[in-house]
């Protein structure tokens, strides 16, 4: 009891002494409370028949009506399938930045290497709007670069942007083009922390450069790679809105309608607030469960985890 009291007193003293720290924390905490936690309370409208006049608290309960509506709608399987396809397809390209990092790590430190790195990061800074605009310009079958290339070989140019079957490829590979350099930085950083004596020992043992990549570089990258992979799998249903929405058109909509764009259309364009929130919540919960599951698996089998 006594020791408990002194413990509490000590903590209290510490809090009082560090009052300034709480003041530093205050702006971020208030903003988070207002604009991240308050909307979490608003998630209730997914279970209600929300009417703006009554507000969140007073709107009548609807139970799981809107979830059932979504599960039974023809958009359910379509949006989920499209979202998962884009996610899994992106996941396949996960090793590409690793390959690039291994490659950069093999270059001798000189001007060319520096130039190479500068250029490879550059597309990362293009905005999504410009990126999609760039694709529309370059891939236009009549006036675009790709159209001219096809004609150069006497072929008729396909309408890549208006193709439902090519949508996922276009989305994923343009992402690789834009971010592969940037995504490789973290692996290059990890490679640069490898103890040079490992390479020296390998050289003495007669290892070739291939051997060093295979038996030193790749194993050393695994922890970083696994951590990033967990985050990616956790976001399996979290395909971002921005780029997909810009790439959508009437011709590719059957493969480009994903959960986040559907949530936007139902919610803000046709003002079905409760329905939209239900779809959104379903999405968030699945993501959350996936993240915890994958993290747990990784903890068990590889001693890597996020927390």
Partner 1 sequence: MEAMNTAAGPAPKPVNNRSSDVLLEVALYVFAVLFLIVLMYPLYFIVIASFSDPSAVANGRVWLYPQGFTLDGYKELFKHDNIWTGYGNTILYTVVGTAIGLIVNISAAYALSRKDLVGRKFLSLFFIFTMFFSGGLIPTFLTIRDFHLYDTFLVMVLPFSVVVYDIIVARTFFQSSIPGDLWEAAQIDGCGNIRYFISVVLPLSKAIISVLGLWIAVGYWNSYFNALIYLKNPDLHPLQLILRNILITNQMQTALGSGEAAQIAMRLANMMRYSVIIIATVPIMCVYPFVQKYFNQGVMIGAVKE
Please list every residue from 59 through 98 that binds partner 1, using CB under 8 A.
none
Q: DSSP character for 48?
A: B
For 23, counting Cβ atoms within 10 Å of its Cβ (0-12 exposed, 13-18 middle, 19+ buried), the class is exposed
Stretch that binds partner 1, among 57-65, 76-84, 207-215, 250-258 (CB under 8 A): 207-215
Show the tokens assigned to 118. 């500068």
Place of tokens 């951590």: 227
Stretch that binds partner 1, among 18-26, 69-77, 87-95, 250-258 (CB under 8 A): 18-26
28 makes contact with partner 1 (CB under 8 A): yes
**Which of 54, 107, 251, 293 touches partner 1 (CB under 8 A)?**
107
Q: Please tell me the count of residues contacting partner 1 according to CB under 8 A.
A: 107
**Which of 9, 88, 103, 293 touches partner 1 (CB under 8 A)?**
103
List binders of partner 1 among 266-285 (CB under 8 A): 267-268, 273, 276-277, 280-281, 283-284
19 makes contact with partner 1 (CB under 8 A): yes
The least CB distance from residue 98 to partner 1, in Å, is 14
Give the containing element (helix H, strand E) for 221.
helix 218-234
Place of tokens 């090519």: 166
**Which of 158, 199, 218, 232 touches partner 1 (CB under 8 A)?**
199
- Nearest-angstrom CA–CA distance, 195 and 95: 23
List binders of partner 1 among 208-267 (CB under 8 A): 208-210, 212, 224, 227, 234, 241-242, 246, 260, 263-264, 267
169 makes contact with partner 1 (CB under 8 A): no
Residue 238's closest CA among 273, 274, 290? 290
34 makes contact with partner 1 (CB under 8 A): yes
- Nearest-angstrom CA–CA distance, 104 and 294: 30
| Cα distance between the two ends of the chain | 34
- What is the three-class DSSP state of 222? helix
Residue 272's closest CA among 66, 39, 59? 66
């Amino acid at each position: 009891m006594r020791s408990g009291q002194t413990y509490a007193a000590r903590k209290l003293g510490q809090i009082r002494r560090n009052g300034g720290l709480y003041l530093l924390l205050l702006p971020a905490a208030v903003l988070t409370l207002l604009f991240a936690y308050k909307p979490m309370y608003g998630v209730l409208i997914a279970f209600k028949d929300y009417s703006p006049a009554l507000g969140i608290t007073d709107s009548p309960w609807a139970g799981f009506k809107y979830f059932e509506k979504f599960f039974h709608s023809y958009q359910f399987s379509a949006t989920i399938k499209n979202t998962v396809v884009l996610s899994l397809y992106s996941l396949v390209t996960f090793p590409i930045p690793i390959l690039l990092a291994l490659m950069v790590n093999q270059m001798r430190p000189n001007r060319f290497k520096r130039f190479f790195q500068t250029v490879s990061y550059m597309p990362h800074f293009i905005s999504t709007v410009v990126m999609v605009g760039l694709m529309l310009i370059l891939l236009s079958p009549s006036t675009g670069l790709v159209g001219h290339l096809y004609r150069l070989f006497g072929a008729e140019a396909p309408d890549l942007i208006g193709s439902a079957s090519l949508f996922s490829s276009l989305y994923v590979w343009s992402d690789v083009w834009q971010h592969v350099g940037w995504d490789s930085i973290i692996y290059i950083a990890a490679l640069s922390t490898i103890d040079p004596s490992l390479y020296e020992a390998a050289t003495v043992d007669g290892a070739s450069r291939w051997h060093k990549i295979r038996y030193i570089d790749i194993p050393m990258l695994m922890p970083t790679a696994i951590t990033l992979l967990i985050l990616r799998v956790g976001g399996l249903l979290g395909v971002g809105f921005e780029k997909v929405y810009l790439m959508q058109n009437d011709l590719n909509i059957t493969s480009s309608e994903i959960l986040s764009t559907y949530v936007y259309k139902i919610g803000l364009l046709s003002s079905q607030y409760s329905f939209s929130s239900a779809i959104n919540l379903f999405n968030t919960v699945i993501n959350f469960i996936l993240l915890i599951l994958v993290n747990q698996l990784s903890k068990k089998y590889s001693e890597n985890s996020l927390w």
